[in-house]
Amino acid sequence: MAIPSELRKGAPVRTAQGAEPATMTHRQIMEALSGLLLGMFVSVLASTVVSNALPEIISELGGGQSAYTWVVTASLLTMTASTPLWGKMADLYSKKTLVQMALVLFVLASAGAGLSQNIGTLIAFRAVQGLGAGGLAALTQIIIAAMIPPRERGRYSGYIGATFAVATVGGPLLGGVITDTSWLGWRWCFYVGVPFAIIALLVLRRTLRLPVVKREDVTVDWLGATLITASVSLLLIWVTLAGDSYAWLSWQTYTMVGASLLLGAAFVLVESRAAEPIVPLSLFRNRTITLTALASLFVGIAMFGATVFLSQYFQLARGQSPTMSGVMTIPMIVGLFVSSTGSGWIITRTGRWKMWLVSGGVLLTAGLGLLGTMRHDTPYWQVALFMALLGTGVGMMMQNLVLATQNQVALSELGAASSVLAFFRTLGGAVGVSALGAVLAHRITEYVDDGMARIGVPSGGATGGGGSAIPDLDTLPAPVRTVVESAYGHGIADIYLCAAPIAVIALVLVILVKEVPLRTVLDVPQDTTDTKDTEGAAGTTGTTGTTGTTGTEEKTSA
């Protein structure tokens, strides 16, 4: 089978005879990565640029703590539900076209969010935004894995970590400046990513060259996609409303949780019979994939659930402006940047990756536990140190969990396996934000009521609480402001204490993962990847014979 001319500078393509694939040079890889990293930068920037503006956005649009949680959860929900679908489509259709579609969808939704006039419209556009984000998150990892062997991937995963860190630290700072600038306002937080997105689309069109895979008589498992979306959505709606709209132990809980479990069971049944399942159940016969998927779930709970409320802590517990809130999170981002890039480079040189997962789990747990001790008047240097530990742990775990999984699968299942990990991570994030947001709302209500009783002032909805409006500290009398700041400081610390045991579970799971040497070729024989961890699955030979799935099962065309 001849290699199409447009692919000679693209990803290596294995022929039906098992010939050695051509290897991309570092320059060719970086050219292809440039558009991907820019697209990912736009996605992360558009997500983080609003973080420090959210308290003001929710206050202006008349929302409360539950609305704050749902603005974040809506995008995580659709991102979670759509990630497996994007991954499966990447195994069937043009990855380049899909990533461009995801980028366009994300940007259009961001612009719509900026035009929102009420909380409901904002949440709706954030949900659409999550669809695009799910595609960008899954497809970036999939495309990189389709170009670069696992042994070399750590080096380039470091670039992903660096891009993520820059966008994560730059987003809140930029969002804070925009929000504090009177002639701009918070709506420009949604518009600011549009020019970056246009540049990313142009760069992707010019530099990204990948095989266009065409497989006959293949359909997407839309029934499975619908069932998993319904199951996850119902679960998150229950978590968000429980304890506020109804008791945790109530008929609503039994009904919603029971229906979610039934839908989940129906999803598993459909996937077991589907010709092209959204989530191939055979992947979970592999011990490493099972453990890393579960670890990603708990890392997502701890990571998203704990970090999303930092802007509330700095603005509502310490009285800082949106701009300063972004500045104060820099220690966490620096930790993430250094650990993700550093571990990637060292893994490429040594081939050893498990120690970074274990070390990351330890630091993540320690950072969360220490943040659970902070209050509204805790010295900032202590909070900065705790955030740095948290960021370092996240940086060591996030990319390397993906690397460990991708090392176990053949090219034909790369999209599905990568999206499974992204699915579990974002599912954990959505559950974490919803559950910890519900805990936070309850805690703040209690702490405000207790504080008001101590100073002899009746508590009111305007000061904070579960479903009440986000307070404007500048309008509160000094004693009441102190009570509210103390309530937010103590309440947000409590959710870190809730997240710390979850991080311990993630640590135990990565300890149980068997370290398999990273292979130096893109593909592996099909019969070594589905059932168990073997050194053969990560072999270092240069060819794979005729069982390589790309050569025997797929037709590649220009």
Q: Assign 3-class secondary structure to 421-444.
A: HHHHHHHHHHHHHHHHHHHHHHHH
* Residue 22 Cα distances to 7, 91, 142, 521, angstroms: 10, 21, 19, 11
Which is higher by pLDDT, 479 or 461?
479
For residue 212, the surrounding DSSP H or E stretch is strand 212-214
The answer to whether residue 211 scores a pLDDT higher than 60 is no
pLDDT score, position 470: 67
319 backbone φψ class: left, alpha, beta (φ>0; ψ -120 to 50): left
Average pLDDT over residues 186-213: 78
The answer to whether residue 203 scores a pLDDT higher than 50 is yes
The answer to whether residue 271 scores a pLDDT higher than 80 is yes
User: Helix (H, G, I), strand (E, B), or coil: what is residue 469?
Assistant: strand
pLDDT score, position 380: 95
Domain residue spans in the chain? 23-207+276-528+546-557, 221-275
pLDDT score, position 218: 57
pLDDT score, position 510: 93
pLDDT tens digits along 378-430: 999 999 999 999 989 988 888 788 888 888 877 667 767 777 887 788 778 77
Mean pLDDT estimate for the chain: 77
The answer to whether residue 281 scores a pLDDT higher than 80 is yes
Q: Which residue has the tokens 């900032």?
A: 380
pLDDT tens digits along 366-388: 999 999 999 999 999 999 999 99
pLDDT score, position 539: 41
pLDDT score, position 5: 38
Which residues are CB-contacts of 150 (< 8 A; sequence separation ≥ 6)?
A: 403, 406, 407, 518, 519, 520, 538
For residue 83, the surrounding DSSP H or E stretch is helix 65-92
For residue 557, the surrounding DSSP H or E stretch is strand 555-557
Average pLDDT over residues 522-535: 46
At 529, the pLDDT band (50, 70, 90 cuts) reads: very low
Q: What are phi and psi of 242, to 5 degrees?
A: -60, 140
Global confidence as pTM = 0.72
pLDDT score, position 301: 81
Give the span between the Cα atoms of 152 and 156, in whole angstroms.
7
Average pLDDT over residues 259-281: 87
At the topology level of CATH, where does 23-207+276-528+546-557 sit? Growth Hormone; Chain: A; (1.20.1250)
When mean pLDDT is compared across 16-20, 22-26, 469-473, the lowest value belongs to: 16-20
Average pLDDT over residues 243-248: 74
pLDDT tens digits along 76-129: 778 777 877 887 787 777 788 888 888 888 888 888 888 888 888 888 898 898
pLDDT score, position 215: 55
At 212, the pLDDT band (50, 70, 90 cuts) reads: low
The answer to whether residue 17 scores a pLDDT higher than 50 is no
User: Helix (H, G, I), strand (E, B), or coil: what is residue 457?
Assistant: coil
pLDDT score, position 305: 65
Average pLDDT over residues 320-333: 82
Instruction: Give the whole-number percent of the chain exceeding pLDDT 90.
Output: 16
pLDDT score, position 214: 55
When mean pLDDT is compared across 168-177, 198-207, 253-262, 481-490, the lowest value belongs to: 168-177
pLDDT score, position 29: 78
